[in-house]
Amino acid sequence: MHGSDSDNAQFIEVVKSIGPHQHLCLIYSSPEERFAAIGPSIEIALDRRERVLYVADENSAVTVHDARRKRGIDLDRRHRDGTFIIAGKEDMYIKPGYFHPDWSINRLFPQIEASGICQYNLNRFSAEVILGVVQTHPLVIYRGDVCRNPYYIPPDEFLKTDRAAVELDRLLSNIRYYRQAEQAIRASEQRWRSIFENSAIGIAMAELDGRFVVTNRAYQELVGYTAAELQDMKLLDLTHEDDRGSAINLITALRAGERKEFQIEKRCLRKDREPLWVRETMSLIPGSEGSPRYMMALVEDITERKQAEGDLRKQNEVLQKIFDHIPAMINLTGEDGRLKLVNREWERTLGWRLEEVQKQDLDIIAECYPDLRNRQAVLNFRSAARGEWVDFKTRTKDGRMIDTTWAVVKLTDGTTLGGA
């Protein structure tokens, strides 16, 4: 099996997904291809405490033993305790000159807790033998892929005298099945294409290096580039330089498998170089073997919301300035009677700091109105909250009694706003 490290990792992940009672055949044409498949398969099965039946000639058995020993796996011990079994192909499969499944172990796999991989060299066996092998194995390893075998024939059917009729029926069934599968795939693609093209949200698919593969109309209108122009660009080309660092960190973590997806609010640069705010949700799209193949970005224009937030922030800043500098005492009191907020004039006049009141859980009404009759009048006044101005004698932190005039109103959340 030739290929990159990622290809080999994909193969291992597929083999890990194969459970007990599975019977596979490995069709190979070189020693490298053979042992790249058989080695990891043996290790995975033994790690899962499954039994492994190894059908091989003497030379390949020795090679497998040596290779596993270098990786610290004692196949001799596994052989002695019965979890790793070696059998010759003459004992299990081949009568002189042809393949005969009645001699095979095909009937064992529904009954025993074992995984089996039979190996056949394309250069050593006839096409007739290989054909029989393929037809009687539900799973086939070929050129680094583990394939579900659509041409598999169960042993009981394979041994029938009217095999030609059985094979014809299986062939016609497969033809019909693949026709139905093509129709289902086409219908699914059409649904996806309709969603993709008509979505009000911008959708972009990119290679793992960020280069655009395909974008929908909403995305193109959002950034001002055509589909053709975007195919010569990368995702980060449209990210404002001040937001690029955080975007790079998130994409790196996504590609490394540290995150399944992420969402970021950032500035995006249109073709006219006008920045706009977007909320981008990015995730990975798996390839055919389950490994990440593409990145998909869902992008919404949030410029108006950001502008509204900015306007609100400015309004709050103005109100805060007024609140802090107005020459009148102002306080906000919750429904539970506890102070939530006071301004600087309140603290300056009465002598307490808000942090002090909250930390010590002071009953500020009791502190300011020690006389029970006056205190009850203040509580009734606050509870009524009619907005009328009323005079009260108020005690400060240092014990002085001062004249104050208060008005109280109630907000929609039950909070009372008092001013003096």
Model pLDDT, residue 60 = 64
For residues 340-350, average pLDDT: 89
Beta pairing class for 114-121 and 23-28:
parallel
pLDDT exceeds 70 at position 384: yes
pLDDT of residue 59: 55
Of 206-210, 303-307, 333-337, 391-395, which range is least confident? 333-337
Top-tier CATH class for 199-306:
alpha beta
| CB-based contact 228:244 (threshold 8 Å) | no
Q: What is the pLDDT of residues 107-125, one digit of tens each?
A: 445 555 556 677 888 988 8
pLDDT of residue 228: 92
**Token pair in block for residue 133:** 């092998």
Q: According to the model, what pLDDT value does residue 291 have?
A: 61
The arithmetic mean of pLDDT across residues 98-102, rounded, is: 48
Secondary structure (H, E, C), the chain:
CCCCHHHHHHHHHHHHCCCCCCEEEEEECCHHHHHHHHHHHHHHHHHCCCEEEEECCHHHHHHHHHHHHHCCCCHHHHHHCCCEEEECHHHHCEECCEECHHHCCCCCCCCCCEEEEEEEECCCCCHHHHHHHHHCCCEEEECCEEEECCCCCCHHHHCCCCHHHHHHHHHHHHHHHHHHHHHHHHHHHHHHHHHHHHCCCEEEEECCCCEEEEECHHHHHHHCCCHHHHCCCEHHHHECHHHHHHHHHHHHHHHCCCCCEEEEEEEEECCCCCEEEEEEEEEEEECCCCCEEEEEEEEEECHHHHHHHHHHHHHHHHHHHHHHHCCCCEEEECCCCCEEEECHHHHHHHCCCHHHHHHHCCCHHHHHCCCHHHHHHHHHHHHHCECCCEEEEEECCCCCEEEEEEEEEECCCCCEEEEC
Q: Where in the chain is the domain with CATH 3.40.50?
A: 5-159
Tell if the pTM clears 0.75, that is, is over it.
Answer: no
- 418 or 91, which is more confident? 418
Are 2 and 32 a contacting pair, CB within 8 Å? yes
Q: Rg (Cα) of the chain, in Å, rounded?
A: 38
For residue 410, is pLDDT > 50? yes
Which two tokens mark 95?
Answer: 């009568």
pLDDT band at 10 (very low <50, low <70, confident <90, very high): low
Residue 360 pLDDT > 80, yes or no?
A: yes
Q: Which of 87-91, 93-97, 257-261 has the highest mean pLDDT?
A: 257-261
Q: How far apart are CA 104 and CA 93, in angstroms?
A: 5
CATH of the structural domain 5-159, one choice from 3.90.550, 1.10.760, 3.50.50, 3.40.50: 3.40.50
> What average pLDDT score do residues 295-305 get?
91
Distance CA 390, CA 409 (A): 13
pLDDT the model gives residue 162: 76
User: Cα 110 vs. chain centroid, distance in angstroms?
Assistant: 35
Average pLDDT, the chain: 81
Q: What residue spans in the chain does CATH classification 3.30.450.20 cover? A: 199-306, 326-419
d(CA 21, CA 113): 6
CATH code, 326-419: 3.30.450.20
**Residue for token pair 């290779």:** 67
Under 8 Å between Cβ of 315 and 399? no
pLDDT, one tens digit per residue, over 129-162 is 888 888 888 888 888 788 888 888 877 777 776 7
Residues 22-41: pLDDT tens digits?
677 889 988 888 877 777 77
